[in-house]
């Protein structure tokens, strides 16, 4: 498999984008924890991650033309968001605060993990270049 | 960038909670106040903060912060309390006091403080994440 520096960081970029999107959703939920009739927002993280992995393993720029690839990346940039309908409080709000706080910590740690992985990748490439 | 959108969401929430604490303090301070209007002394009207979901992102309508507004009721209603020694007492001895429940105002303020705290921790996390992002490749 030929080494392509453009393709190399694509998966890291997509994962970081997905994590920051998740962070945005958590922020929205925590901010609206007291808003009447607000329904908690969620994404199917497993499915989105699988999408990213599928896209990065299949799509090689040589196989598909540039226009198609652009459209595809545009389409995938926004993950599908759904709302939690089941209410567990009187005012119709469905945010589970404990869950959101734990998700927040988990998500930020995972974000840092992605950054460390990316840094290691860059270090490896630099090491090879210095040889 | 989406992390900066998150900062906007947090700031809108903190703004809304500050408004809530402000109105609670105002209501508590004025729990026995009268307002002079059109030659009459009317009871002070309790104010409330109404919060509404407000989306920032045009791409995704499901994510957003809070739009908040302070509302005051237009009909000057109060609660009648028996106090014949009061200067505004009617012939029967009742005074039209402002309709403010001190306990529920206190609890509202506590709720706002808790919400503010959780938003602060969220803000710190996001700040740390942005700093981490800036350190990529160092």
Mean pLDDT comparison of A41-50, A103-112, B28-37, highest-scoring range = A103-112
- Residue A35: its chain B contacts at CB < 8 A? 51-53, 66
At residue A74, the pLDDT reads 47
pLDDT digits (tens, 9 = 90+) for A59-104: 555 555 555 555 555 445 678 888 888 877 788 888 888 899 999 9
Instruction: Give the residue carrying structure tokens 């959780």.
Output: B118
| Residue B40: other Cβ atoms inside 10 A | 10
- Give the closest residue to B2 by CA, choosing from A12, A17, A44: A17
N-term to C-term CA, chain A:
21
Are A83 and B62 a contacting pair at CB < 8 A? yes
Given A21, A35, A119, which is nearest B53 (Cβ)?
A35
ipTM of the prediction: 0.74
Global pTM reads 0.79
State whether A26 and B137 contact (CB < 8 Å). Answer: no
Give mean pLDDT, residues B94-104: 90
Nearest residue to B3 (alpha-carbon basis) of B57, B72, B82? B57
3-class secondary structure, B36:
strand
């Amino acid at each position: 498999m030929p080494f392509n520096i453009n393709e190399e960081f694509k998966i890291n970029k997509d994962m970081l984008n997905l994590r920051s999107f998740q962070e945005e959703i958590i922020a929205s939920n925590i901010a609206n924890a007291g808003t009447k009739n607000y329904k908690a927002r969620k994404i199917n993280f497993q499915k989105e991650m699988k999408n990213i992995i599928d896209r990065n393993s299949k799509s090689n720029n040589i196989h598909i033309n540039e226009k198609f690839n652009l459209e595809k990346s545009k389409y995938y940039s926004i993950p599908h968001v759904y709302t939690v309908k089941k209410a567990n409080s009187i005012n119709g709000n469905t945010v589970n605060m404990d869950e959101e706080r734990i998700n927040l910590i988990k998500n930020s740690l995972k974000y840092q993990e992605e950054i460390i992985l990316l840094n290691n990748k860059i270090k490896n490439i630099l090491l090879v270049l210095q040889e | 960038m989406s992390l900066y959108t998150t900062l906007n969401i947090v700031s809108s929430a903190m703004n809304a909670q500050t408004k809530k604490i402000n109105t609670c303090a105002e209501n508590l301070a004025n729990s026995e106040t009268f307002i002079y209007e059109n030659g009459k002394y009317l009871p002070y009207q309790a104010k409330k903060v109404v919060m509404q979901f407000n989306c920032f992102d045009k791409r995704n309508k499901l994510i957003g912060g809070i739009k908040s507004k302070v509302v005051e009721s237009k009909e000057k209603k109060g609660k009648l309390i028996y106090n014949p020694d009061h200067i505004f007492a009617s012939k029967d001895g009742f005074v039209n006091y402002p309709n403010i429940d001190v306990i529920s105002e206190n609890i509202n303020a506590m709720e706002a403080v808790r919400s503010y705290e959780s938003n602060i921790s969220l803000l710190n996390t996001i700040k740390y994440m942005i700093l981490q992002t800036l350190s990529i490749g160092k």
